[in-house]
Amino acid sequence: MGTASDIKLIDENNIRLDGRGPDELRPIKIETNVLNRADGSSFIEWGGNKIMVAVYGPREAYPKHNQDINKAIVKARYNMAAFSVDERKRPGPDRRSVEISKVVSEALEAAIMVELFPRAQIDVFIEVLQADAGTRIAGLTAASVAVAAAGIPMRDMVVGCTAGKVGNKIVLDLSKEEDNFGQADLPMGILPKSDRVVLMQMDGDLSVEEFEQATSMIMKATKRIAQIQREALTKKYEIQQKEQGE
Ligand code: UDP
């Protein structure tokens, strides 16, 4: 969260700097099968975020001491390209990317039927090419589509979304300015069929009422995002069917 600022992030008519209302999402577009050599892949554009995901596996986990005899391990690696942000990002992992990789791995593991693949590993590479706030939840949303596109059995999809507090109001899907200068940011990952929460982090402070308002806004939005995920996967299936028919 940024420091106190004079920027007015939301006006008296509840209109935000980019023209959105409090519960409006930025535009979201997802494509699948964008990389030939991955088992599954996806590309998401969410507002100004552009993120590529490649999935490999399940394959035998290596080194062997990493293997779990009861289930597959899910290894997500979140990486931000040096050119993805305004100020060049130093290449390679940092504390933030290690943390995001961990929470995204855990969220995906809750959705994947890992018990079907003992001793295996599923690798999920999340490459942020352009960052515009909310990259962890956009990356998670795209990763879930790429895992499904790889044909890996899942209990449910994982949908990510954020809500937060700007100008003392609760709003959905924070923009870059709102993320930098707002009062709170709450990224969440949800399994939309059961509404189970598989990722939750919070930056800043929310009262209990504000937290409830933010989570209910996110829950509603996840249904819309899940529909976009389904459409991306159906499109992939239709293209495959057409190719097989030719
Ligand atoms: N950001 C940046 N440089 C960095 C890390 C983040 O410019 O090294 C920007 C980027 O646009 C990112 C935003 O700050 O999307 C918010 O970062 P945060 O850590 O809140 O994670 P995110 O919202 O992307 O999940």
pLDDT in the model for residue 126: 98
Q: Which fold has domain 28-245?
A: Ribosomal Protein S5; domain 2 (3.30.230)
**Rounded-to-integer distance, Cα 143 and Cα 26, Å:** 19
Of the candidates 104, 116, 156, 124, the one whose C-alpha atom is nearest the C-alpha of residue 52 is: 124
Rounded to the nearest 5 degrees, what angle is found at the Cα of 215, between the Cα atoms of 211 and 219? 170
Number of H-type helices and E-type strands within the chain: 4, 10
Atom of ligand 1 nearest to the CA of 137: 25
The finding on whether 122 has its CB within 6 A of some atom of ligand 1 is no
The finding on whether 133 has its CB within 6 A of some atom of ligand 1 is yes
User: How many Cα neighbours within 13 Å face the side chain of 55?
Assistant: 28
pLDDT in the model for residue 177: 96
Of the candidates 85, 83, 47, the one whose C-alpha atom is nearest the C-alpha of residue 162 is: 47
Mutate to test the pocket of ligand 1, among 179, 186, 199, 202 (most ligand atoms within 8 A of CB): 179
The residue whose C-alpha atom lies closest to atom 17 belonging to ligand 1 is: 133
Answer whether 197's CB lies under 8 Å from 35's CB. Answer: no
pLDDT tens, per residue, the chain with 246 residues: 555 556 799 999 999 999 999 999 999 999 999 999 999 999 999 999 999 999 999 999 999 999 999 999 999 999 999 999 999 999 999 999 999 999 999 999 999 999 999 999 999 999 999 999 999 999 999 999 999 999 999 999 999 999 999 999 999 999 999 999 999 999 999 999 999 999 999 999 999 999 999 999 999 999 999 999 999 999 876 777 777 776
Cα distance from N-terminal residue to C-terminal residue, the chain: 53
Answer whether 174's CB lies under 8 Å from 71's CB. Answer: no
The residue whose C-alpha atom lies closest to atom 13 belonging to ligand 1 is: 133
Report DSSP state, residue 46: E
Domain segments of the chain as ranges: 28-245
Residue 46's identity, in one-letter code, is W
The finding on whether 50 has its CB within 6 A of some atom of ligand 1 is no
Atom of ligand 1 nearest to the CA of 96: 19
Point out which residues pair with 165 in neighbouring strands. 170, 184
Point out which residues pair with 162 in neighbouring strands. 187
pLDDT in the model for residue 235: 85
